[in-house]
């Protein structure tokens, strides 16, 4: 079972694990996950379109798929909403209920400062990356993605990382994008990826995701595919 009724974050991570590992997800299971997520979507009021975190998500703190912790309720709601909408696209954007859910989420996210103004202050940087992941499946090759990779590039720290932006989550995003701009940032990040291989994470799932991601980027560079 992918659904964890206690946590939107863990439900999304379970689905993302299956997708990342190439494990087939039956259509009825996709429908159940989508229905459960849509049941968490706000349908009235000022937050219409957002996906509401559970009490557990807010109490214990949510994490990005790659393990970086989200410390504010706002970022938790932003990131989980973008990630949930991304899953709806991947699971069946042609389904009317899913399509409406995606449209509501897209409308809600579009007015956020990290979308409207490319804000990367504090945890807006985390939300910025999550929205790019959503856009990458909704509109692959969108010119806005190339422009926003430029925003990430402008925050290079000169050591293979980016100031403000969560390293592993940003590298994950870049592996999912097409085009030279993303490849250029991945080439820049290779030295930091090599150094990060020696670092661990307390959570075994996060450690496995990070290691797999880093090894993939390094292998692509070795094969001159970046």
Give the Cβ contact number of residue 150 at 10 Å: 12
CA end-to-end span of the chain: 36
pTM to 2 decimal places: 0.96
- pLDDT value at residue 199: 83
Listed range (37-46, 161-170, 186-195, 197-206) with the worst mean pLDDT: 197-206
List, in order, residues 6 or more apart from 226 with CB less than 8 Å away. Answer: 183, 186, 187, 190, 217, 220
List, for residues 136-158, the tens digit of each pLDDT value: 999 998 999 999 999 999 999 99
List, for residues 116-125, the tens digit of each pLDDT value: 999 999 999 9
């Amino acid at each position: 079972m992918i659904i964890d009724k206690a946590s939107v974050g863990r439900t999304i991570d379970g689905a993302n694990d299956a997708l990342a590992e190439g494990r087939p997800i039956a259509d009825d299971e996709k429908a159940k996950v989508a229905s459960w997520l849509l049941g968490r979507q706000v349908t009235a009021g000022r937050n219409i379109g957002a996906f509401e975190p559970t009490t557990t998500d807010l109490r214990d703190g949510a994490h990005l798929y790659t393990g970086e912790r989200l410390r504010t309720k706002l970022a938790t709601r932003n990131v989980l909403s973008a990630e949930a909408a991304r899953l709806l696209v991947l699971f069946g954007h042609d389904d009317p209920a899913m399509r409406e859910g995606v449209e509501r989420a897209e409308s809600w996210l579009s007015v956020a400062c990290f979308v409207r103004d490319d804000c990367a202050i504090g945890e807006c940087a985390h939300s910025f990356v999550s929205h790019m992941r959503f856009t990458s499946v909704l509109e692959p090759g969108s010119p806005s993605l190339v422009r926003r990779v430029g925003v990430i590039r402008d925050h290079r720290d000169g050591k293979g990382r980016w100031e403000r932006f969560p390293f592993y989550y940003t590298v994950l995003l870049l592996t999912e994008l097409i085009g030279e701009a993303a490849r250029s940032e991945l080439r820049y990040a290779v030295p930091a990826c090599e150094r990060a291989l020696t670092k661990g994470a307390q959570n075994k799932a996060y450690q496995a995701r990070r290691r797999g991601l880093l090894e993939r980027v390094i292998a692509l560079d070795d094969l001159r595919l970046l």
